[in-house]
Amino acid sequence: MNLKAFISIIFLSIAVTVFSENCTLRHSTLLLQQKTIENNSEDHEWAFASQRDEIAPLHSKDKDGKFKGTTTLVLAGGGKEYANGGWVTVKDVQAGKYYRFKVSFQAEMVEQPDRTIYSSILWLDENDKKVSMTEFPPTLEETTSDGFNIIEKVYQVPKGASKARLELGYRWDADGSVCFGDFSFLEVDKPMPRNVKLATVLHRPRNSKGSHDNLEQFANLIDEAGKQQADIICLPEAITLVGTDQDYISAAESIPGPSTRFLGEVAKKHNMYIVAGLLEKEGEVVYNTAVLINRQGELAGKYRKVSLPREEIEGGITPGDELPVFDTDFGKIGIMICWDVQFPEVSRSLAMKGAEVILLPIWGGDLTLTKARAIENQVYLVSSTYDMKSAVFDLKGNIIGEATKSNPVVVTEVDLNEQVLWDWLGDLKNRVPREIPSKSSIEW
């Protein structure tokens, strides 16, 4: 054995030992097992399986060190970048009923947890034949009070299914480890819809007297959305600049400032969230910014445009350097501004941070790219524009609500809990994060 190989083995042993202690494991090493472990009712009848013995990750059951009162199922890369396998069990189900899949886990030294640590559900008939696409329950953004991650989702059993093959897996990370525990798969009531009314406007001020005149024009449109009880409305980019004789710098103001105070009063009046594009001045710097005003009329957050076109750079604007996601009372939202839509990295980052709806104040842009951002991230997208389409796009990129010159305000209701299934592909929303390219493969 050469020195490099010896050092690698020692390093891996130390990493696994440390991880085991963190998961309250009693064993100091994990033994590579080449054959499927026999089922044991004491630990939920979990059995190890891998596509091939050669790529099987290290695996072990910890029956002494309990994870919230349950046997801990452990997987580790074992030095294999190609490791792939997991713990499997089969449960009886009833077609048409709803079941909640839930498991907690703790990971160590895993570079991309959403990609490496996964769970899946395969629906089978009484003859063990697949009856629908495989489901991939998501990892929640929230963690438990003691720091454990949670994979959880409620599913309706498809027609013809009588069994569910459940898997807790680990793949494609040589150095990491994970322990699963606190598993449950129980029948529950049908989930309540999570409906939200998304609004957008199509309006371009012309020959405006100034920024306040623009705000009053948009306020009239917000009033129309308020009559329809919209939950959130998206206004276009730079609403205090368009149609005036100002430039980027002269139209800029502090945030919070006069425009956010004005919009706050309108938001409070209608108990509505507002997203609007403004020009922000902070000290010597000017940003192209979008603000989020909450139902109480308060500034709940702001996003500074990270992708600047040449015209804005030459006009003296500075790019932002953060892509925040905001919590609302109906779900998580992200914001992009105009030129951001050209770059898939912006919307992908927001989606990976949990955004369910992306609001897009935009001057004008490419409609195909706008649809693509909704499709590739499986989010609802709301654009508000001067020169494109002000619309609500669903998870398949379809326009399900469009503001027009004759009808400049549109309010569209969607259910954020509704599962969208694609032909041959299934639930892309939760599948995509599990199959995303590795970070190392897309580094520049």
Active site residues: 237, 305, 338
- Name the token pair of 168: 């807790």
- Chain centre to alpha carbon of residue 241: 32
Whole-number Å distance between alpha carbons of 423 and 397? 15
* H runs (alpha helix) in 204-336: 211-227, 258-270, 310-314
d(CA 393, CA 374): 7
Whether 5 and 62 have beta carbons less than 8 Å apart is answered as no
**AA letter at 367:** L
Contact indicator for 287, 304 with CB cutoff of 8 Å: yes
Rounded Cα–Cα distance for residues 321 and 20 (Å)? 38
- Cα 4 to Cα 312: distance, rounded to the nearest angstrom: 53
Of 149, 14, 157, nearest to 79 by C-alpha is 14
Give the 3-state secondary structure of residue 126: coil
Burial of 213 (0-12, 13-18, 19+ CB in 10 A): middle
SS (H, E, C) 120-136: EEEEECCCCCECCCCEC
Integer CA distances (angstroms), 319 to 21, 223, 316, in order: 44, 32, 10
Residue in the block written with tokens 């020009």: 279
- Taking the mean position of all CA atoms in its chain, how far away is CA 347? 10
Q: Give the residue ranges of DSSP H helices in 235-308.
A: 258-270
Using CA atoms, how far residue 259 sits from 215, 231, 275, 277, 283, in Å, is: 8, 20, 12, 10, 18
The owner of tokens 């500075």 is: 318
Sequence-distant (≥ 6) Cβ neighbours of residue 364 within 8 angstroms: 338, 385, 386, 387, 388
Q: Are 238 and 279 in contact (CB under 8 A)?
A: yes
What three-state secondary structure class fits 9? helix
Instruction: Match 């009484």 to its residue by tokens.
Output: 126
CB 196 within 8 A of CB 330: yes
